[in-house]
């Protein structure tokens, strides 16, 4: 740690306070690996995600993976 008057906890603030104009969320565009049907190949598509509704929140996903159950469903033949 660099020398400062802050404790290590204070030095690791994750996000700055959000400005007031960010209080009204809007739809966002992001890329998603989409499976349209079991056994079909995954396609990376741009999707629109609606803003959060009451009692919901939006989080930023930095990385993710598929679990065994996801892969099993994806490989199924219908």
Please enumerate in sequence order all residues whose Cβ is within 8 A of that of 10, keeping only pairs 6 or more positions apart, or say none: none
Q: Give pLDDT, residue 3.
A: 54
Percent of the chain that is helix, strand, coil (3-state, to 5)? 20, 20, 60
Q: Which long-range contacts (CB under 8 A, 24 or more apart) does 24-28 make?
A: 25/51, 25/52, 25/58, 26/51, 27/51, 28/58
pTM: 0.52
36-70 pLDDT, tens digit each: 887 788 899 999 999 999 999 998 888 888 888 88
């Amino acid at each position: 740690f660099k020398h400062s008057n802050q404790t290590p906890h204070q030095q690791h603030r994750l996000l700055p306070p959000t400005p007031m104009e960010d209080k009204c969320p809007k739809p966002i565009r992001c890329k998603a690996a989409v499976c349209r049907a079991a056994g079909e190949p995954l396609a990376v598509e741009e999707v629109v995600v609606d803003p959060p509704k009451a009692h919901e929140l939006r989080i930023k996903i930095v990385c993710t993976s598929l679990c065994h159950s996801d892969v099993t469903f994806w490989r199924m033949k219908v």
